[in-house]
């Protein structure tokens, strides 16, 4: 079934346009209640990030779920992974997140977790879409759902985050800057770090509904890097608007991305006997990560871009660790989804155990130079480019020339009429030359 609304991570768009409007979200709540509710007394949790439209969509979802006869637990501002955790531990039928993650406040989205705290399977999303095509009805007055606010949601999640590292670890003397992106972690991440004993300097923790991800957070870590240097901190932690991603900054003010953090966590798990199977990355994971893990004797597998594909592979193989360069890291031995706070704590634990700084820990992985060239397609279908023999010959020639010291990725953009040409290798000038050679072959084809 071709899905009309659900993408790779729920339903997302500009507020007031397409499906991201109150009327649609009302009916989405009703449809989700009919599919995900499991009889009388069932409950579905709703949480949100700090963007202003969250109030509107929270009310719409509440009304739709109540009309379907499902009880509601309102969590208020809560990180996406916190909603997954609470859905699981409170035995909810499902969890709903109102968030557009790292996007600006003009966007919003709705995504779902199952009763086990996992993303919904495609088949369940398709069932919700089928319900959306039906006329909306309301259960009898005596069967309507009731809503309650869960006042201790924040405290429950804080305690869970702390439980993911040994309580014996003492972080007194560690000076940390945390950037909350004016998002859903603003009232949680600083307290987690303070409660484990760190000295905490907080930035990006004054949400006003309009400033989420604006100049702060995991997608814009320069403010964090500057604060680390100015305050002489040991490191910095940048989370995104809904708290499922993390990027860190070492004591020198240098950015440490998701690939490097994944390498550090994998090495820690390997040393402590907690790494089960291979590490899972994506097509965009740096070749340096694959090489560094190979040097540790750890396998590495790539999947399509997107955390749901990482989770699928981890679940299929019963492996424990995967992630993306963007900082979406999944420690499946700790939780069911990407969690920025939990991932950062795993790195802090390794710093504490080894006595090595973040700058020292990252040195085991050398990031390979990467060149990305975007080639406009005009009216040509991307499939025609991907199937063209001349373009594929150009790709094969580069792959043959670079051997095991390089990697080529040719893929259509998912959002624009572009072909993306990415080449990685040991030498920056060689990488740039090879990427442009392939891009020239694509340009020649498009110009015919």
Q: What are the structural domains of the chain? A: 11-151 (3.40.120.10), 157-362 (3.40.120.10), 370-447 (3.30.310.50)
3 state DSSP class of 447: helix
For residue range 228-239, what is the model confidence (pLDDT) as tens digits? 999 999 999 999
SS3 content of the chain, % helix, strand, coil (to 5): 40, 20, 40
In this prediction, residue 357 carries a pLDDT of 98
Q: What's the rounded Cα separation, in Å, for the pair 136 and 313? A: 37
Give the pairing of strands 370-376 and 321-323.
unpaired
| Mean pLDDT, range 417-435, rounded to an integer | 94
Buried b (16+ CB within 10 A) or exposed e, 66-98: bbbbbbbbbbbbbbbbbbbbbbbebebbbbbbb
Evaluate if residue 98 carries a pLDDT over 90: yes
Find, among 300, 238, 236, the residue nearest to 263 by Cα.
Answer: 300
In this prediction, residue 39 carries a pLDDT of 78
In this prediction, residue 106 carries a pLDDT of 97
Contacts of 447 (CB under 8 A, 6+ apart): none
| 437 band by pLDDT with thresholds 50, 70 and 90 | very high
In this prediction, residue 74 carries a pLDDT of 98
Evaluate if residue 401 carries a pLDDT over 80: yes
For residue range 106-117, what is the model confidence (pLDDT) as tens digits? 999 999 999 999
| Mean pLDDT, range 349-353, rounded to an integer | 97
* Catalytic (active-site) positions: 101
Task: Name the packing angle between helices 153-163 and 340-354 (round to 10°).
Answer: 40
Find, among 189, 214, 228, the residue nearest to 79 by Cα.
Answer: 189
Q: What's the rounded Cα separation, in Å, for the pair 26 and 67? A: 10
How does the average pLDDT of the chain come out, rounded?
95
For residue range 356-365, what is the model confidence (pLDDT) as tens digits? 999 999 999 9
| Mean pLDDT, range 334-350, rounded to an integer | 97
In this prediction, residue 8 carries a pLDDT of 80
Q: What's the rounded Cα separation, in Å, for the pair 308 and 121? A: 10
For residue range 17-57, what is the model confidence (pLDDT) as tens digits? 999 999 999 999 999 999 999 877 799 999 999 999 999 99
Looking up tokens 């050398």, which residue turns up?
366
Tell me the two tokens of residue 300: 């590495």
In this prediction, residue 1 carries a pLDDT of 58
- Asked whether 118 and 92 are in contact (CB, 8 A), the reply is no
Evaluate if residue 415 carries a pLDDT over 80: no
Evaluate if residue 89 carries a pLDDT over 90: yes
In this prediction, residue 38 carries a pLDDT of 85
| 163 band by pLDDT with thresholds 50, 70 and 90 | very high
In this prediction, residue 9 carries a pLDDT of 85
**Given strand 418-425, what is the order of strands in its sheet?**
370-376, 418-425, 406-412
Give the pairing of strands 147-149 and 71-77.
parallel
């Amino acid at each position: 079934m071709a899905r009309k609304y659900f993408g790779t991570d729920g339903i997302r768009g500009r507020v007031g346009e397409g499906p991201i409007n109150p009327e649609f979200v009302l009916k989405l709540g009703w449809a989700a209640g009919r599919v995900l509710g499991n009889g009388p007394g069932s409950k579905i949790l709703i949480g949100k990030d700090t963007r202003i439209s969250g109030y509107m969509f929270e009310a719409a979802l509440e009304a739709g779920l109540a009309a379907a006869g499902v009880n509601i637990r309102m969590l208020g501002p809560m990180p996406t992974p916190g909603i997954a955790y609470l859905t699981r531990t409170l035995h909810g039928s499902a969890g709903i997140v109102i968030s557009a993650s790292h996007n600006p406040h003009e966007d919003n989205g709705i995504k779902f977790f199952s009763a086990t705290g996992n993303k919904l399977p495609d088949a369940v999303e398709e069932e919700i879409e089928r319900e959306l095509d039906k006329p909306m009805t309301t259960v009898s007055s005596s069967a309507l759902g009731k809503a309650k606010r869960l006042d201790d949601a924040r405290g429950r999640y804080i305690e869970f985050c702390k439980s993911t590292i040994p309580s014996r670890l003492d972080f007194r003397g560690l000076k940390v800057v945390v950037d909350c992106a004016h998002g859903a972690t603003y009232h949680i991440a600083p307290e987690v770090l303070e409660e484990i004993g760190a000295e905490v300097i907080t930035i990006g923790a004054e949400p006003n509904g309009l400033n989420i991800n604006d100049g702060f957070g995991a997608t814009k870590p320069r403010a964090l890097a500057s604060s680390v240097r100015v305050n002489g901190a040991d490191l910095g932690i940048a989370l995104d608007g809904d708290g499922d991603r993390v990027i860190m900054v070492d004591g020198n003010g240098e950015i440490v991305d998701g690939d490097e953090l994944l390498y550090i966590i994998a090495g820690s798990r390997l040393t402590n006997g907690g790494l089960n199977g291979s590490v899972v990355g994506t097509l965009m994971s740096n070749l340096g990560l694959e090489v560094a893990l190979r040097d540790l004797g750890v396998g590495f597998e790539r999947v399509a871009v997107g955390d749901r594909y990482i989770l699928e592979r981890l679940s299929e193989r019963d492996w424990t660790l995967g992630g993306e360069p963007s900082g979406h890291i999944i420690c499946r031995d700790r939780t069911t989804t990407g969690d920025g706070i939990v991932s950062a704590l795993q790195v802090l634990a390794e710093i504490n155990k080894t006595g090595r700084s973040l700058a020292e820990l990252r040195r085991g992985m050398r990031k390979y130079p990467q060149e990305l060239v975007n080639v406009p397609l005009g009216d040509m279908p991307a499939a025609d480019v991907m199937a063209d023999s001349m373009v594929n010959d150009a790709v094969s020639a580069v792959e043959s020339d670079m051997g095991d010291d390089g990697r080529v990725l040719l893929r259509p953009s998912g959002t624009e009429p572009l072909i993306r040409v990415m080449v990685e290798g040991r030498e920056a000038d060689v990488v740039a030359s090879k990427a442009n050679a392939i891009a020239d072959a694509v340009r020649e084809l498009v110009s015919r």
